[in-house]
Structure 1
Amino acid sequence: MKRNIIAIAIILTIFGCNNANKNDQNVEAKESIMAVDSVATVAEPKIIKTADMRFRVKNVQNTKEQLSQTIKAQGGTVAEFSIESIIQETQKVKQSVDSLKEITSYRTEGYLVANVPAEKLDDFTNTVAKMAVFVDNQSLKLDDQSLAYLGNRMKAGNRIEAANQMNKVAGKKSTSVETSLNIKDDYVDKKLQNLSIDNRVKYSTITLQFYQDNTIKTTVVANDDIYDYKPAFGNRLWMGIINGWTIFKELIIGLANIWALILTGVAIFFLIRYFIRKDKIKTQASGSLTDNRI
């Protein structure tokens, strides 16, 4: 009987401890949820501003220099820029025998990406608009990252707490240490994401595309047409006569070198002609005799 009473007492003690642990866990969970709710109610606004502009200017290169100075004066930085000249049409006009005038019509375009302080974005866009001859389009976009920022911060806090608890319980087990390292790496990722959001909130990104009217440029270049470098007609005619006389003399000299072959050919020609005539005469004679007999 005493043994049964002792066993029942032990069982009740175990269940009591489990219930106590569950109650403690529920209390911790409730406290964590209440902490999350309290943080969520005081979330900081994280508004990311981005702007785009396309406009026409008088001179792309001068505008690029002015923009760089303005960005620097307002505490911003140039992240990217490029200038490109697009050829629309090119023609070459003959100016002299050895030179041509090259006439080129081209269009110059500029592209610039800058990061300026968010509080000065409106002033900067107004300054850029004054540089323009004509504004094609202008846009502003607001991206609210407040909830994403808050979520990263709360998750980072949870990962610190989980890593600390695992370090206390895990001891030196390799699997637990690896899990703890993964949690810490995830914490670093969340912190870096929030740092990126902070930077983008502090400095707004603006993309500028600007261009100027088509420009005409003339340049004197060397004449690459070989025909234009040939002599005049009279000179070429006289040179042709001289070359013809030279060729004729060379032909006579060439014939003189083969006089034996020419003489042999002539002799063969007359010999063949002699035999052909002789055969004709014989044929005619035989034909006449036959006629007389008949």
Structure 2
Amino acid sequence: MKNHLICIILLLTVFGCSSDKKERAGTGPDQVADSTLNGKIIKTADMRFRVKNVQTTKEKLADLIKTEGGTIAEFNIHSQIRENEKVKYTTDSLLELISYRVEGLVVARVPAEKLDNFTNQVVKMAVFIDDQSLKLDNQSLTYLSNQLKRQNKQEAITQLRKTDEKKTRGAEKSLEIRDADVDHQINNLEIDQKVKFSTVTLNFYQDNTVKKIIVGNDNLSDYRPDFFRRLWLSLQNGWSIFKEFILILADLWMLILIVIVGYLLFRRYRSKRLRV
């Protein structure tokens, strides 16, 4: 009886070891390569197009992205002034004419399997397509390289634990390998996210628009009184200047008297000299 039990235990041990070896062999580089190279393709799309109204298009795009299960990564609306002019409207106001162009930018993350349907829906919003492109970037080899390097590093960490676990140098080396292992893992996670969600960059604009705005007149010369009022004010100002001149002469009466007396004496002296 004991011999039978010993045989059964030996058989179970042998089968267990062989199955463990098969599992390890099944997760080797060849199987990882076969499963990975099926496709780690990153899709990115770019579009530039003209629309009737940028703000309305932005709202429609937001609804469409939400419906498709995507998210908006970046959004911007910018108005570029092409020409600006002010003309007289009334005495105290001006009519400002502004010619400008509105441009919009939306960067979205859309599920890769819905990318074609999404871009087709965007095309229907456009009046005119300036440019449309799709880029496929196969990251399968990079992904496979990261996986294989991770396996090698995990095996190296296991060996270090067995041999140099109590040594400081071995611990530092193990930490460096672990950090590198984390970097490869994060890199693969980023690739997975980019494969799952495609990045779509949408640039759109509308035709030049003219905006009319009534603003205050900042030209001070337009606030001057009319001609007749200014003429009357000038006459009043002239009369005031004349009165001031009279007052100045009154202040200088002594000087004026000396000038008159001197002139009379000079004239008398000259007449006597002519008689001689």
Scaled by the length of structure 2, the TM-score of the pair is 0.83
Counterparts in 2 of 1:277 and 1:166: CA distance versus 1, 3 Å: farther
Residue 266 of structure 1: CA displacement? 5.2
- Aligned twin of 1:145: 139
* Comparing 121-130 and 157-166, the one that deviates more: 157-166
Q: How many residues align?
A: 250
Q: Does 1:123 align with 2:117?
A: yes
Residue 173 of structure 1: CA displacement? 2.1
The SS at the match of 1:88 is strand
Q: Does 1:216 align with 2:210?
A: yes
Q: Tell me, in whole angstroms, the C-alpha distance in 2 between the residues paired with 1:266 and 1:179.
A: 118
Q: Does 1:67 align with 2:53?
A: no
Residue 267 of structure 1: CA displacement? 5.2
Q: Tell me, in whole angstroms, the C-alpha distance in 2 between the residues paired with 1:167 and 1:260.
A: 122
Q: Tell me, in whole angstroms, the C-alpha distance in 2 between the residues paired with 1:171 and 1:213.
A: 70
Residue 42 of structure 1: CA displacement? 3.8
Q: Does 1:155 align with 2:149?
A: yes
Counterparts in 2 of 1:40 and 1:266: CA distance versus 1, 3 Å: same
Residue 99 of structure 1: CA displacement? 1.1
The SS at the match of 1:71 is helix
2:40 pairs with one of 30, 37, 46: 46
Residue 126 of structure 1: CA displacement? 0.2
Q: Tell me, in whole angstroms, the C-alpha distance in 1 between the residues paired with 2:165 and 2:252.
A: 114
Residue 117 of structure 1: CA displacement? 0.2
1:35 pairs with one of 28, 42, 59: 28
The SS at the match of 2:28 is helix
Q: Tell me, in whole angstroms, the C-alpha distance in 1 between the residues paired with 2:167 and 2:247.
A: 110
For 1:85-234, list aligned pairs within 5 A. Answer: 85-234=79-228
Counterparts in 2 of 1:250 and 1:147: CA distance versus 1, 3 Å: same
- Aligned twin of 1:257: 251
Residue 268 of structure 1: CA displacement? 6.1
Q: Which sections of structure 2, spanning at least 5 residues, go unmatched? A: 1-23
What amino acid maps onto 2:123 in structure 1? A
- Aligned twin of 2:78: 84
Q: Tell me, in whole angstroms, the C-alpha distance in 2 between the residues paired with 1:218 and 1:90.
A: 10
The SS at the match of 1:119 is helix
Deviations 1:89-133 (A, max 9, x none): 122221111111111111111011000000000000000000011
Deviations 1:50-95 (A, max 9, x none): 0000111000000000000000111100000111111111222211
Counterparts in 2 of 1:35 and 1:249: CA distance versus 1, 3 Å: same
Q: Tell me, in whole angstroms, the C-alpha distance in 2 between the residues paired with 1:54 and 1:67.
A: 14
What amino acid maps onto 2:134 in structure 1? L
Residue 264 of structure 1: CA displacement? 4.2
Deviations 1:111-165 (A, max 9, x none): 1100000000000000000001111111000000000000001101111111121
What amino acid maps onto 1:171 in structure 2? E
Which 4+ residue blocks in structure 1 deviate beyond 3 angstroms?
Answer: 261-271
Q: Tell me, in whole angstroms, the C-alpha distance in 2 between the residues paired with 1:53 and 1:224.
A: 44
The SS at the match of 1:107 is strand
Counterparts in 2 of 1:183 and 1:266: CA distance versus 1, 3 Å: farther
Residue 37 of structure 1: CA displacement? 3.9
Q: Percent identity?
A: 55
Residue 224 of structure 1: CA displacement? 1.0
What amino acid maps onto 2:251 in structure 1? N
1:236 pairs with one of 230, 234, 246: 230
Counterparts in 2 of 1:170 and 1:262: CA distance versus 1, 3 Å: farther
Deviations 1:252-287 (A, max 9, x none): 11221232344345556777x58x969xx6xxx9xx
Q: Tell me, in whole angstroms, the C-alpha distance in 2 between the residues paired with 1:190 and 1:264.
A: 112
Residue 35 of structure 1: CA displacement? 3.4
Q: Tell me, in whole angstroms, the C-alpha distance in 1 between the residues paired with 2:59 and 2:260.
A: 92
The SS at the match of 1:172 is coil
Scaled by the length of structure 1, the TM-score of the pair is 0.79
